[in-house]
Copies of this chain bind each other. A is one copy, B any other.
Amino acid sequence: MSAPLPPGSTIGILGGGQLGRMLTLAAARLGLKCHVYSDASGPAFDVATHHTVNAYEDVGRIEDFARSVDVVTYEFENVPLPAATAAERIRPVRPPPKALAVAQDRLEEKRFVADLGLPVARFAAVDGESDFRAATQSVGVEAILKTRRLGYDGKGQVRINAATEVAAAFDEIGRNPAVLEAFVAFDYEVSILAVRGLSGEVRFYDAPLNTHRSGILHTSTVPSPLAGSRVARAREIAKAIADALDYVGVLAVEMFYLGGEAKEPLVVNEFAPRVHNSGHWTIDACAVSQFENHIRAVAGWPLGPTERHSDAVMTNLVGQDADDWPHLAAEPGTCLHLYGKRDARPDRKMGHITRLSPKSQRPT
């Protein structure tokens, strides 16, 4: 295990979106600089000490970028794998590129989680029409067909209710390699935000309850109603994934809670090898945010505390929601975060608010 990077070191971040921006702001608190590499100008550029705009496919430039920094991390899971492996030849890449490889492919991700003996919904590969029958037979017809790659915020997914609907769904997702997943009737979704340090130590934030609108995260609330024993199980699941990947940084694992009657009440939906939208409340409700703990982990620093000092409800500001900033800024107890994006396209995450209230005593 290497020594922690001293203050003044530079963190390289692949990706220039709002997560990169908040990672950069967190690094700055610790006296660390950031160099952001992205294929297009983004919100992280305004605050990063250095930035590079260039294709991820340009291995030479990726190597130059890696040479200019002390460690490389990433802020989105669709970083092309060759970029991460090129960077790794020069500097440590944390989380490890293997986490990218698994998380980029829904089928690999499901297999990885299932192979660890962890609970996932039934699933089957669908590469073409010849797979339709076997897939619905093993998974059932109450299911969701999802592209294996490049899906996010509910994109690349089609719900089906009968075997006869698979063909149309396959057309709808562009006839791309897909995975058919059994539909899970869940009470609610929670996410586990874990951070794993270079030493293998794992810490957890309180698990938020997440709600969605049009497939996009809408709110994350702590505490969630999940009972303490369930939280312990959910953390055990997240830790098993992190350990198996020899993970370093923040890992977000989305899980469905199926209710107390279910034989397996918690089922893994998916994981993200990065800081996560459902952890934005940690900026305002914890001494050390998910962003700072990610930076600490990848820089080889001691992990920071993960306890919350306040209850919190995070609400995303999507598209025109952010136009309401003058009123949101005037709301008591509300922390406003805007990402500095110019164009408020309808599904674009423009910012978020966190409403704080005194900490309740619910044992989560």
Q: Which residues of A246-305 are within 8 A (CB) of B? A: 284, 287-288, 296, 301-302, 304-305
CB distance B340 to A31 under 8 Å? Answer: yes
Interface assignment of A117: CB less than 8 Å from any CB of chain B:
no
Interface assignment of A49: CB less than 8 Å from any CB of chain B:
yes
The distance in angstroms between the C-alpha atoms of A279 and B300, with both chains bound, is: 30
Q: Which residues of A318-357 are within 8 A (CB) of B? A: 322, 325-326, 329-330, 332-342, 351, 356
Q: In the complex, what's the smallest C-beta–C-beta distance from A356 to chain B, in angstroms?
A: 5
CB distance A340 to B46 under 8 Å? Answer: no
Interface assignment of A146: CB less than 8 Å from any CB of chain B:
no
Interface assignment of A25: CB less than 8 Å from any CB of chain B:
yes
The distance in angstroms between the C-alpha atoms of A25 and B309, with both chains bound, is: 22
CB distance B29 to A47 under 8 Å? Answer: no
CB distance B288 to A4 under 8 Å? Answer: no
A304 contact set on B, CB distance < 8 A? 329, 336
Given A309-B310, A309-B358, A326-B301, A287–B335 Cβ distance below 8 Å?
Answer: yes
Interface assignment of A148: CB less than 8 Å from any CB of chain B:
no
Q: In the complex, what's the smallest C-beta–C-beta distance from A68 to chain B, in angstroms?
A: 15
Interface assignment of A28: CB less than 8 Å from any CB of chain B:
yes
Interface assignment of A8: CB less than 8 Å from any CB of chain B:
yes
Interface assignment of A94: CB less than 8 Å from any CB of chain B:
no
4 cross-chain pairs, A with B, having the tightest CB-CB distances, nearest first = A31-B338, A302-B330, A31-B340, A46-B49
Instruction: Show 7 residue pairs from A and B whose CB-CB distance is below 8 angstroms, ordered by the A residue.
Output: A29-B336, A30-B336, A31-B339, A31-B340, A287-B356, A305-B332, A309-B358
Residues of A at the B interface (CB closer than 8 Å) are: 4, 7-8, 21, 24-25, 28-33, 46-47, 49, 284, 287-288, 296, 301-302, 304-305, 307, 309-310, 322, 325-326, 329-330, 332-342, 351, 356, 358-359
Q: Known contacts A25-B29, A29-B337, A31-B340; can you find 5 more A-B pairs with CB under 8 A?
A: A24-B47, A284-B287, A288-B335, A302-B326, A304-B336
